[in-house]
């Protein structure tokens, strides 16, 4: 098998799903097992039948059960089963629920009925969860941000846990993040209020989803939670280019630390944020060049991407990349992204000819018009040191408040942080 037990354990939602998955990892629980070069599938037979599939890189999986835990015990069970029983995955032709091509009528019926069920059960829980969350938001605003409870991280953590329970994984991560802000910055009430306002807009949008343009619907849904299925990614744009891996950052999604890479297309000048899940055996390094086809997650302002095909070379060239000349240009582009999708949180910021300066112990970078923004993170000092006596091109990630420097181009060389 192309994956290990350790990798399966890494993607498990929690230890309970893993132990249930072990109890399903026996041939007696499965039928119709099959595989091709990219994925494997099977039908799990318990009190009900579930249709389960997963890609070999463990980045995509789906199951027709109603569990909000992703991957569910059936996906994990299928993968664990495959480790010792590769030869039992004998079918080579994908059934209709994997590829819509050929299949028996029976499995089509199972698919329709069970997909309907999962949709319904998961949707009901999410709809109810969003209703409760809106009430929580309204109570919070009524009580005011200066109320005692807001200062305690548990207040936010409890709400984040409730969001996980209804499946709103991404929204939950955002609430957890907000819980870390009170008291951290002088301007925290403004930042938190702004975020809460966007969340209220999100819930109202979710409650009126069908009235929105299709891609806005996708943005509303993915701000609440991602859909990792193949089908979802295949609805997005696909771009072939030579991509440079220019930076890296970390974020916490559902309590696990996830690595994000920024890639920048040499021909198209497009950029994308690639998530590297702990389970993935793909290894990107900042400085790599990846020639390949990138799929964007469907969005009104596509940013999240993943490679459909890729060939990695370990050399780097900065020709053809275009930097923003001024902060005004950059912020203008940010505004146009936010105009399409107000819930975007991270922006790719390559900025030309900047100079760093220090004030009150903080590092700022200043453009040629003498406009400046604050840096954050341990690399701010390196930017400062590298820019002494010269102008540098900075590549960073902007979060609306601060710029996280990821690297600088100086004297035709890319210095990676
Ligand atoms: Zn399942």
Residue 137 scores a pLDDT above 90? yes
- Pairwise pLDDT comparison (274 vs 97), residue with the higher score: 274
The pLDDT, as a whole number, for residue 316 is 61
CA of 292 to the centre of ligand 1 (A): 32
The pLDDT, as a whole number, for residue 270 is 92
The pLDDT, as a whole number, for residue 226 is 86
CA of 121 to the centre of ligand 1 (A): 13
CA of 344 to the centre of ligand 1 (A): 30
The pLDDT, as a whole number, for residue 102 is 33
CA of 207 to the centre of ligand 1 (A): 27
- The CATH architecture assigned to 327-416 reads Beta Barrel (2.40)
CA of 17 to the centre of ligand 1 (A): 10
**DSSP secondary structure letter of residue 100:** S
Q: Which two tokens stand for residue 56?
A: 């070999």
Percent of the chain residues topping a pLDDT of 70: 91
CA of 103 to the centre of ligand 1 (A): 21
Q: Which two tokens stand for residue 132?
A: 């409760």
Q: How many CB atoms lie within 10 A of CB 407?
A: 23
The pLDDT, as a whole number, for residue 37 is 85
The pLDDT, as a whole number, for residue 114 is 46
The pLDDT, as a whole number, for residue 256 is 72
CA of 277 to the centre of ligand 1 (A): 20
The domain defined by 236-313 folds into OB fold (Dihydrolipoamide Acetyltransferase, E2P) (2.40.50)
Kindly state the average pLDDT of the residues 70-96: 88
Residue 314 — very low, low, confident or very high, per pLDDT cuts 50/70/90?
low
Question: CA neighbours within 13 Å on the CB side: how many for 206?
Answer: 25
CA of 130 to the centre of ligand 1 (A): 23
Residue 113 scores a pLDDT above 60? no
CA of 122 to the centre of ligand 1 (A): 12
CA of 117 to the centre of ligand 1 (A): 12
**Distance set, CA 277 to CA 83, 208, 231, 246 (Å):** 20, 32, 19, 18
Question: What is the rounded CA–CA span in Å between residue 186 and residue 338?
Answer: 25
Boundaries of every domain in the chain: 5-103, 123-224, 236-313, 327-416
Give the closest residue to 228 by CA, choosing from 26, 63, 48: 63
pLDDT, tens only, 151-207: 899 999 999 999 998 999 999 999 999 999 998 878 899 999 999 999 999 999 999
Beta strands at 256-265 and 289-296: parallel, antiparallel or unpaired: unpaired
- In sequence order, the β-bridge partners of residue 170 are none
CA of 127 to the centre of ligand 1 (A): 21
Q: What is the pTM of this model?
A: 0.70
CA of 49 to the centre of ligand 1 (A): 10
Residue 108 scores a pLDDT above 60? no
Residue 287 — very low, low, confident or very high, per pLDDT cuts 50/70/90?
confident
CA of 63 to the centre of ligand 1 (A): 5
Of the listed ranges 141-150, 316-325, 403-412, the least confidently predicted one is 316-325
Is 259 in a helix, a strand, or coil? strand
CA of 294 to the centre of ligand 1 (A): 28
Question: What is the rounded CA–CA span in Å between residue 204 and residue 393?
Answer: 41
- Pairwise pLDDT comparison (101 vs 357), residue with the higher score: 357
CA of 45 to the centre of ligand 1 (A): 11
Residue 415 — very low, low, confident or very high, per pLDDT cuts 50/70/90?
confident
CA of 327 to the centre of ligand 1 (A): 48
pLDDT, tens only, 231-266: 888 889 999 999 989 888 887 776 677 889 999 998
CA of 305 to the centre of ligand 1 (A): 25
Of the listed ranges 54-58, 61-65, 192-196, 279-283, the least confidently predicted one is 279-283
The pLDDT, as a whole number, for residue 255 is 67
CA of 72 to the centre of ligand 1 (A): 5
Of the listed ranges 56-65, 96-105, 389-398, the least confidently predicted one is 96-105
CA of 234 to the centre of ligand 1 (A): 22
CA of 69 to the centre of ligand 1 (A): 8
Domains 236-313 and 327-416 equal at CATH topology level: yes
Residue 136 — very low, low, confident or very high, per pLDDT cuts 50/70/90?
very high
CA of 74 to the centre of ligand 1 (A): 4
Residue 290 scores a pLDDT above 80? yes
CA of 227 to the centre of ligand 1 (A): 14
The pLDDT, as a whole number, for residue 111 is 44
Average pLDDT, the chain: 86
Residue 116 — very low, low, confident or very high, per pLDDT cuts 50/70/90?
very low
CA of 43 to the centre of ligand 1 (A): 10
CA of 3 to the centre of ligand 1 (A): 20
CA of 46 to the centre of ligand 1 (A): 11
Question: What is the rounded CA–CA span in Å between residue 225 and residue 342?
Answer: 16
Residue 379 — very low, low, confident or very high, per pLDDT cuts 50/70/90?
confident
CA of 209 to the centre of ligand 1 (A): 26
CA of 76 to the centre of ligand 1 (A): 9
Residue 59 scores a pLDDT above 90? no
**Report for 24-33, 57-66, 110-119, 253-262: range of highest mean pLDDT:** 24-33
Question: What is the rounded CA–CA span in Å between residue 393 and residue 313?
Answer: 24
Kindly state the average pLDDT of the residues 48-74: 85
The pLDDT, as a whole number, for residue 276 is 82
Is 299 in a helix, a strand, or coil? coil
Residue 332 — very low, low, confident or very high, per pLDDT cuts 50/70/90?
very high
89 burial via Cβ count (<10 Å: 0-12, 13-18, 19+): buried
């Amino acid at each position: 098998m192309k994956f290990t037990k350790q990798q399966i354990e890494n993607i498990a939602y929690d230890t309970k799903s893993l132990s249930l998955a072990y109890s399903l990892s026996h041939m007696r629980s499965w039928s119709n097992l099959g595989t091709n070069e990219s994925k494997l599938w099977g039908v799990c037979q318990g009190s009900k039948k579930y249709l389960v599939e997963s890609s070999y890189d463990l980045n995509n999986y789906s199951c027709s059960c109603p569990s909000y835990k992703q991957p569910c015990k059936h996906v994990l069970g299928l993968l664990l089963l495959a480790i010792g029983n590769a030869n039992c995955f004998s079918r080579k032709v994908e059934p209709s629920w994997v590829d819509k091509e050929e299949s028996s009528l029976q499995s089509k019926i199972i698919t329709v009925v069970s997909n309907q069920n999962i949709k319904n059960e998961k949707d009901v829980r999410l709809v109810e969860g969003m209703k409760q969350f809106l009430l929580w938001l309204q109570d919070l605003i009524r009580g005011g941000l200066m109320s005692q409870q807001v200062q305690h991280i548990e207040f936010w953590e409890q709400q984040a846990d409730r969001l996980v329970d209804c499946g709103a994984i991404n929204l939950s991560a955002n609430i957890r993040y907000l819980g870390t802000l009170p008291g951290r910055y002088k301007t925290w009430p403004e930042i938190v209020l702004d975020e809460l306002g966007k969340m209220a807009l999100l819930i109202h949008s979710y409650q009126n989803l069908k009235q929105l343009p299709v891609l806005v619907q996708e943005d509303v849904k993915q701000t609440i939670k991602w859909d990792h299925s193949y089908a979802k990614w295949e609805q997005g744009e696909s771009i072939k280019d030579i991509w440079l891996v220019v930076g890296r950052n970390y974020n916490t999604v559902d309590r696990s630390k996830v690595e994000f890479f920024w890639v920048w297309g040499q021909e198209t000048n497009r950029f994308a944020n690639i998530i590297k899940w702990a389970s993935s055996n793909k290894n990107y390094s900042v400085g790599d060049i990846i020639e390949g086809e990138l799929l964007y997650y469907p969005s009104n302002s596509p940013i999240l991407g993943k490679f459909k095909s890729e060939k990695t070379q370990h050399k780097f060239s900065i020709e053809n990349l275009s930097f923003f000349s001024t902060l005004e240009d950059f912020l203008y582009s940010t505004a146009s992204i936010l105009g399409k999708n107000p819930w975007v949180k991270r922006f790719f910021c390559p900025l030309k000819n900047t100079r760093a300066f220090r004030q009150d112990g903080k590092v700022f970078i200043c453009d040629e018009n003498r406009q400046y923004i604050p840096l954050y993170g341990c690399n701010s000092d390196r930017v400062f040191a590298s820019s002494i006596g010269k102008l540098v091109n900075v590549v960073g990630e902007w979060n609306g408040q601060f710029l996280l420097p990821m690297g600088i181009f100086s004297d035709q060389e890319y210095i990676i942080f």
